Amino acid sequence: MEKFKSGFISIIGRPNVGKSTLLNTMVGKKIAIMSDKPQTTRNEVLGILTKEDYQLVFIDTPGIHKPKTNLGEYMMDMVKKNLRNIDLILYIVDSSKEIGKGEEYIIEMLSKTKTPIILVINKIDLDNKESVLPIIEKYNELIKVENIIPISALKNQNLDELLTKILENIEEGPMYFPAEDTSNVSEAFLVSEIIREKILRLTEEEVPHSSAVLIDLIEEDGELINVYASIYVERKSQKGIMIGKGASMLKKIGRLSRIELEKMWGMKVYLNIQVKVKDSWRKKDFDMRNFGYKREK
């Protein structure tokens, strides 16, 4: 019998490079929300892949950026924390983007770690194979890694090769989570993230980034699940945008969220969403803690 392998794998990179898409694809289930807007991921989300001879725990992290609020600092503290005491780093880059200051900052950060790194060049479905070769050469000059693997997380291209290289860099270890677990997130957290994902998809400019979602109650009533949620924004003007004329925006957010929740639970869902104002909450540690963003001292 082969020895059982296990390890914690941190997924890092700039915003919008496909970290959450990769996590979901590797686990085979939607664990982390996705959008085309930066800073979609705010919390540490674990995706757990367990097979007969291994258990891989993927850690989805916020996109690395220069923070402008306490929330931004919280997100970057989380990234730095997740570069410690892990077994492997997946550094993901977008094959369609030039190497800029953001990537140089990450490369400098990674140069200080002794943890093995796999460079994952994502979104190769947007380019021809020949165009990826110069990117590989450039990164080879800038960073020392165990492997460089071009993939498309969205199209599920070359993920078998990535999995093979991950396992080559993971040591023998115990099973950290029950085999049936696929994530560490609570039901309420997942519901709040599904609603926030719809906000990210439907609203623009600062509104989605100023939003937080709290689940006030989830209760099962026969063949119906009742969900009561609150969306918090920072200004009254944002509340007006979130609700929309004749409550049009709020109805869209609610309808799309309810459809996904009904698919997830396999039951009818009644979803009640209220929009509230919490002035400049992203700049206040007290409010951030209440919304689940607790900074370590």
Q: Is 156 left (phi over 0), alpha (psi -120 to 50) or beta?
A: left
Provide the residue type at 156 as one letter.
N
Interval 183-216: pLDDT, tens: 888 889 889 989 988 998 898 888 888 899 999 9
Interval 5-38: pLDDT, tens: 999 999 988 888 888 889 999 998 888 766 555 5
Q: What pLDDT is recorded for position 231?
A: 96
Distance of alpha carbon 29 from the chain centroid: 13
pTM equals 0.77
Alpha-carbon separation of residue 278 from 118, 121, 144, 209, 244 (angstroms)? 41, 39, 45, 13, 18
Nearest alpha-carbon partner for 176 in 2, 7, 1? 7
The domains located in the chain, with CATH, are 5-168 (3.40.50.300), 187-290 (3.30.300.20)
Torsion of CA 41, 42, 46, 49, to 10 degrees: 0
Distance of alpha carbon 132 from the chain centroid: 25
Q: What pLDDT is recorded for position 283?
A: 84
Q: Do residues 122 and 151 touch, judged by C-beta distance below 8 A?
A: yes
Average confidence (pLDDT) over 154-183? 92
Kindly tell me the number of DSSP H helices and DSSP E strands found in the chain. Answer: 9, 9
Cα distance between residue 219 and residue 180, in whole Å = 24
Paired with 119 in beta bridges are 91, 148
Interval 103-134: pLDDT, tens: 888 898 888 888 999 999 998 876 656 678 88
Residue 60 has pLDDT above 60, yes or no: yes
